[in-house]
Structure 1
């Protein structure tokens, strides 16, 4: 946009300069020629008094004195055919001047000014002053150079002013674009300043109105999720009481632990739903959190005859994800393994440091693999599930500056690679 504005201003100013300077340049050329012609005419007329008296030695002496000074060369054509002063051809214009008519005519190499002087008895004498082309254009180049410099200066100043104006407008437009990017990244507090022309203020106002509307709708959605999650507390309380009423056994302990885990998850959902989006994403030690969750799921893996292979980096391994969010991600990945593969299916978990900071979590199983091409899409599942688990993992990874990749394992099954960005520095 800035370049287009500069091109537009340059075009308009250039047209104006051409329309203004070209006539001035032609006028300078005409004035120089008129000045030289007027000087030559005055020089020729200075001999008129002498030529009108006679054609004797006085006229010859006057012509020699005039040509002895710097100026246009003078030639006197006498009615007898003699020529005094600077030698010159007897042109058609000279012959016409012998009829008693003074005139100016173009000649080879310049311009000749002819003054006819009627003598008392001998006839008409013609005084010729010659102006060369160099004299006709003397000072024109300098005048043209000055006009060119003035035009270049005007164009440069115009472009400078246009560039400043374009910068100010582009700064406002860029600011609005940055606000839109911040909104897209989840910063709903971003607002565009109402500055600049009326059109830009309208755009900024519309963007701010949209941001406020998004904030309100998102807050309503969070409250709706929180209310829905809160409604789950009643049946969970009943399940916990039922679990506490079971005879003490390993199975009762597992049921109680599962109910407690579900209560913690519901509580976390309520807190997350009511947390502002501009809160810091948090930071935790990925090595410790993954090790703890693997220990929790290893009990169920042992009951289902699953072989768990793990290769975890040494702590600390900081990532830009809160502990609760990372726990949810690991649980979602491992829950998918248990939910979508038959009992006895082995799986592997690897955690390593990521180049540039963060961590890479790799979960591979030997099951049937992904049955749906859009398994990472929110709400899409190839089995009887909500399809939200992998989407939660993906969004958590992207908020930290990472990503999630789905692929088939080397020996069949599914492979999920999750990259978490580094924590705050």
Structure 2
């Protein structure tokens, strides 16, 4: 924008200067010609009275004293002054007794006849091209230098003016990028034209409004800790009252996990500047633990559960809680949307360069045809569900994966594959 404004002013300045300097240059040339012709005419007119008297001696002295080359053609054929041949203009003036100004290849020829008793005396002078254009080149050079100086001055002023406009715009852009990067304390300094100051004020108001809304949202989420504490406590008490020790331990562990998940969500939400956990985890340990948890429910519902895990650790750049929540969401979908007795399998394959692929497959009815054609599955979009649920489970799994695919293995069932990004092995 700054360059365009400068070019616009430069083009406008050049056009204005051309509109003034070109006619002025033509006028300068015409004035120089008129000045040279006027000087020659004055010389000729000073000789005319002497030619009318017929005093040859005085006429010769006067002609020889002139600085301009003058030739006088006498009636008897004699020539005074600068030697020259009688041109057609001289002969015509002598015959018609009229003054002439003729343009020749050498310049402008002035011829004035003086009629006396003995005949016509013709006075001739030649104004050369050098005399006609004397001083014109220097004047044109001065005008060109003046025009170039004015253009440079215009460019400098235009650049300064453009800078006063573009600098506030650049500052507004920088502040908007900072706000997009979760730096909600960033504010724009209202400066520049009134319109830009109004935009800066609107951006600051928007940032303040976003900050207030996020603070209110954090407080509302934090209230969940108080609302969920009582039912979680009651659930744990119910688990402890179960007669079967194994069943009691399983339900209590589920209640504890739910409490930890809610606490983690609340803590993450209340952070003023939340940052993702990039430390990662061992996917083998996390997947094994969650499969062991769900295997009890699979056994109760008659579902064959097959797991295939790497022999060693599989480091991934995903937090352990996030990976566990994603796998729980996938397995929870299987148990919620497939009939009892449906077989399922969980496979974790480590990548040689880091990362892993997590696959959850089942032999159930699969996803609706409208969703199975998409590489990522439309059902993976947040809030979209093909089975009447909230539509958040697959979105939770999709967020932790660098690549998320849903594909039906055949006429029934579904396969969900997550490519988990790798991370460096922690230093011992």
**The two structures share one fold, judged by TM-score above 0.5:** yes
Aligned residue number for residue 137 of structure 1: 133
Distance in 2 of aligned mates of 1:51 and 1:404: 112
Residue 383 of structure 1 corresponds to which residue in structure 2? Answer: 387
**Structure-2 separation of matches of 1:330 and 1:275:** 25
Q: Residues of 2 paired with 1:117 and 1:221: CA distance?
A: 111
Question: Partner of 1:26 in structure 2?
Answer: 26
2:275 corresponds, among 277, 280, 303, to 280
The 3 A distance-change label for structure 1 pair 153 and 233 is same
Superposed CA offset, 1:349-403 (max 9, x none): 335487xxx8565434244554345212221112243212333444x55xxxx85
Deviations 1:3-49 (A, max 9, x none): 43234212321222122212321221122212322332344356456
Corresponding residue to 1:154 among 150, 167, 175: 150
Cα distance change, pair 75–188 in 1 and its aligned pair in 2 (3 A): same
Q: Match of 2:5, SS?
A: helix
Match of 1:308 in 2: 307
Q: Judging changes above 3 Å, is the alpha-carbon distance between structure 1 residues 116 and 8 closer, same or farther for their aligned structure 2 residues?
A: same
Tell me how many residue pairs correspond in the alignment: 403
Q: Deviation per CA, 1:73-127, whole angstroms, max 9, x where unpaired?
A: 422233446554322424289628974x7x66242233233455566x5455332
Which secondary structure state, in structure 2, belongs to the residue aligned with residue 284 of structure 1?
coil
2:115 and 2:356 mapped to 1: Cα distance? 114
* Paired position in structure 2 for 1:225: 221
Is contact 2:285-2:313 (8 Å) kept?
no
Matches within 5 A, 1:37-52: 37-45=37-45, 47-48=47-48, 51-52=51-52
Equivalent residue, structure 2, for 1:16 = 16
Alignment-derived partner of residue 6 in structure 1: 6
The answer on 1:346 being equivalent to 2:339 is no
Deviations 1:225-278 (A, max 9, x none): 3324531221111000111122352222111110100111111222223222x2
Question: Counterpart in 2 of 1:298?
Answer: 291
Q: Does 1:206 align with 2:202?
A: yes
Distance 1:170-1:353 versus aligned 2 partners, 3 A rule? farther
CA contact (8 A) 2:347 2:360 kept: yes
Cα–Cα, structure 1 residues 282 and 149, in superposed 2: closer, same or farther, change >3 Å?
A: farther
TM-score (norm 2): 0.79
Is the Cα contact below 8 Å between 1:345 and 1:365 reproduced in 2? yes
CA contact (8 A) 2:405 2:417 kept: yes
Which runs of 5 or more structure 1 residues have no equivalent in the other structure?
A: none
Matches within 5 A, 1:104-123: 105-109=101-105, 110-115=107-112, 117=114, 121-122=117-118
TM-score, with length taken from structure 1: 0.80
Asked if 1:56 is matched to 2:60, the reply is no
Paired with 2:259 and 2:276, the residues of 1 have a C-alpha distance of 23
Deviations 1:170-204 (A, max 9, x none): 23223323333443444333322212111101001
CA contact under 8 A between 1:94 and 1:114: conserved in structure 2?
Answer: no
User: 2 CA distance for matches of 1:108 and 1:214?
Assistant: 86
Aligned-residue offset at 1:418: 4.8
User: Matched residues in 2 for 1:338 and 1:309: separation?
Assistant: 19
Distance 2:193 2:356 in 1: 49
Aligned to 2:253: 257
Over the residues paired in the alignment, what is the CA RMSD in angstroms? Answer: 3.6
Distance 1:3 1:200, change over 3 A: same
Return closer, same or farther for 1:111/1:268 CA change in 2, 3 Å cut-off.
same
Deviates more, 1:193-202 or 1:160-169: 160-169
State the secondary structure of the residue aligned to 1:307: strand
Unmatched 5+ stretches in structure 2: 299-303, 372-376
- Please report how far the alpha carbon of residue 145 of structure 1 lies from its aligned counterpart in structure 2 after TM superposition: 3.4
Q: Contact conserved, 2:360 with 2:416, CA < 8 A, in 1?
A: yes
**Helix, strand or coil at the partner of 1:375:** helix
SS class of match (1:105): strand
Does the aligned pair in 2 maintain the 1:332–1:390 contact within 8 Å? yes
Cα distance change on mapping 1:77 and 1:324 into 2, 3 Å: farther
**Partner residue, 1:176:** 172
Say if 2:94 and 2:122, in contact at 8 Å, map to a contact too.
no
